[in-house]
Structure 1
Amino acid sequence: MPQEGSDHYRRAYARQIARLAEVRDGRIELAFESVPREAFLPPPPWTAISMGVAVRTSEIADIYDNVLVAIDPERGINNGEPALHAAWIDAARPRPGEAVIHVGAGTGYYTAILALLVQPDGRVEAFEYEADLAAQAARNLSSYANVTVHAASAFGRALPKADIVYVNAGVLAPDVEWLRALNPGGRLIFPWQPHKGWGPALLVTRRAGGFSVQSLMNVGFISCSGTTERISRGRLPTEADLAAVRSIWIGSTRAPDSSAVAVYDDVWFSSEKPGH
């Protein structure tokens, strides 16, 4: 159960996160206000992390701040930075009635926020590879009728059609099935980490002429579990290559050409916009 005073802290926290992330959709602030963060965390004392500094605390006010909170320090698993997720969710623009695939759901906190944003008729399919985290997420999300938790990897498998694929684990390359799952106008957001440990967060949109790519920010995420990734063929992309990306292509539908900046087994990145 939420500790006494949680409602008060959530209201101030939601305002802070919306301001820091400069969110355009006011429903996101309401969603952060509605979901008790402590319900998705281990019991206190918690380890709150900000700017690389970890603080042990049992004060609920300390987790209602723009901090990571440790879920499993030994595995490097955290409940991620709220302002970063608010910015990503705002960029992905979840709408009522849409279908979302959440990759790397952890214990379900951001799954719950996504679930609120696609109500009343939308659904979230949450995938978590770590069995213990998936079990916790299933318990934590049991009151969210529009969420299904899958204790499985969302990498290398056919997925249901979706309007949003929201990926919370770093990958050397996106899974081709994430692209195939997108409905027309669908959005994929993921941390592309071709250098293992850092890289740009990319927003991919399925358009009539292909998959456009917008770079949002540099991030560092724990690597996606349950993957069989290979490095880019030929060479690793440089920082200039990362900045030049404008589209992504499925290799079986279009072969890499002179615009390619990174080429993988099933997908490749191009410096040209879709339709060119």
Structure 2
Amino acid sequence: MANETAFDASRKARTSYASQIMRLAGVADARIERAFAQVVREAFLPPPPWTAISMGAALVTRDLADIYDNVLVAIDPERGINNGEPALHAAWFDAVSPQPGESVIQVGAGTGYYTAILALLVEPGGHVEAFEYEADLAAQAKRNLRDYSNVTVHAGSAFGRVLPSADIVYVNAGVLAPDTEWLRALNPGGRLIFPWQPHKGWGPAVLVRRQAAGLSARSLMNVGFISCSGTTETISVRHLPTEADLAAIRSLWTRAERAPDASAVAVYEQVWFSSEEV
């Protein structure tokens, strides 16, 4: 009876939480709301007490209501690893619009909470290839996602490796520049979303789409993510891009396909951002 009561409390909390997250994110997609309502967040967290973090303030709690809110929840405070802000991810899901039957590569699965939501959004017929660099987190994610038959968890970096083709590449860690293998993996019409962080600890989320003429790119909201492990990219411009530069991007190119020109906003070893439309 106690377990049934706890399950009912969780289900009730999730229903209210999902509605709240949609309002905060400005998202109207009922499929995304249902996915947030379905996935049990506490199943992907350490045992209570939990540390919920909002606006820099931390709350240590055993109350389910406190984690079914738009808060980060600590996974490993020493490494700065958290279960991320739900409204941000709801907005990202809306931006990349996962559809039934599509394939997703997730970079930085953590313990698998947002992997589970992605897995629901591509059902039926879709699949998620989830990569997690930290071996202990990858092991936890595999356990947590064992009932999700359309998810494969890989223990290792998704940076600098050949990847399967995908309709969506969803990156949960900040990078100085996107990996060219993420770009090569995109199917026609494919979408990549990642935190571009040329400045330490912050920068815009960038939405990239593979179009017939090339890769379009748009800056979305500013975000701050833990840095992606295993990256090697270094900046080759003499100064960091300004906030105006970050907002001005309209396309993304590999240097192998097109040399940087006067439209370049930021140039890296393998890729560069342009202010020109594709």
Same fold (TM > 0.5): yes
Given residue 175 of structure 1, which amino acid in structure 2 is its aligned partner?
A: D
The Cα of 1:234 is off from its aligned counterpart by 3.0
Asked if 2 retains the 8 angstrom alpha-carbon contact of 1:170 and 1:223, the reply is yes
What secondary structure sits across from 1:23 in the alignment?
Answer: coil
User: Residue 217 of structure 1 corresponds to which residue in structure 2?
Assistant: 221
In 2: Cα distance, 1:240 partner to 1:50 partner: 28
Match of 2:174 among 170, 179, 182: 170
Matches within 5 A, 1:82-121: 82-121=86-125
What secondary structure sits across from 2:69 in the alignment?
Answer: coil
Given residue 96 of structure 1, which amino acid in structure 2 is its aligned partner?
A: P
Residue 207 of structure 1 pairs with residue 235 of structure 2: no
What secondary structure sits across from 2:140 in the alignment?
Answer: helix
CA deviations on 1:16-43 (whole Å, 9 max, x unpaired) are 0011111132100000000000000000
CA deviations on 1:67-87 (whole Å, 9 max, x unpaired) are 000000000000000000000
CA deviations on 1:225-262 (whole Å, 9 max, x unpaired) are 11112124332211121111111001101111110011
User: Residue 26 of structure 2 corresponds to which residue in structure 1?
Assistant: 22
In 2: Cα distance, 1:7 partner to 1:92 partner: 27
In 2: Cα distance, 1:84 partner to 1:232 partner: 30
Match of 1:188 among 169, 185, 192: 192
In 1: Cα distance, 2:159 partner to 2:202 partner: 20
What secondary structure sits across from 2:152 in the alignment?
Answer: strand
What secondary structure sits across from 1:218 in the alignment?
Answer: strand
- Give aligned pairs, total: 274
Residue 73 of structure 1 pairs with residue 77 of structure 2: yes
In 2: Cα distance, 1:233 partner to 1:131 partner: 34
Residue 123 of structure 1 pairs with residue 142 of structure 2: no
Asked if 2 retains the 8 angstrom alpha-carbon contact of 1:106 and 1:137, the reply is yes
Asked if 2 retains the 8 angstrom alpha-carbon contact of 1:176 and 1:266, the reply is yes
Match of 2:201 among 182, 197, 200: 197
Asked if 2 retains the 8 angstrom alpha-carbon contact of 1:100 and 1:165, the reply is yes
Query: Structure 1: where are the runs of 5+ without partners?
Result: none
In 2: Cα distance, 1:234 partner to 1:265 partner: 13
Query: Structure 2: where are the runs of 5+ without partners?
Result: none
Asked if 2 retains the 8 angstrom alpha-carbon contact of 1:172 and 1:196, the reply is no
In 1: Cα distance, 2:113 partner to 2:186 partner: 23
CA deviations on 1:118-139 (whole Å, 9 max, x unpaired) are 0110000000000000000000
Q: Taking structure 1 as the reference length, what is the TM-score of the superposition?
A: 0.97
User: Residue 239 of structure 1 corresponds to which residue in structure 2?
Assistant: 243
What secondary structure sits across from 1:27 in the alignment?
Answer: helix
CA deviations on 1:154-176 (whole Å, 9 max, x unpaired) are 00011000000000000011101
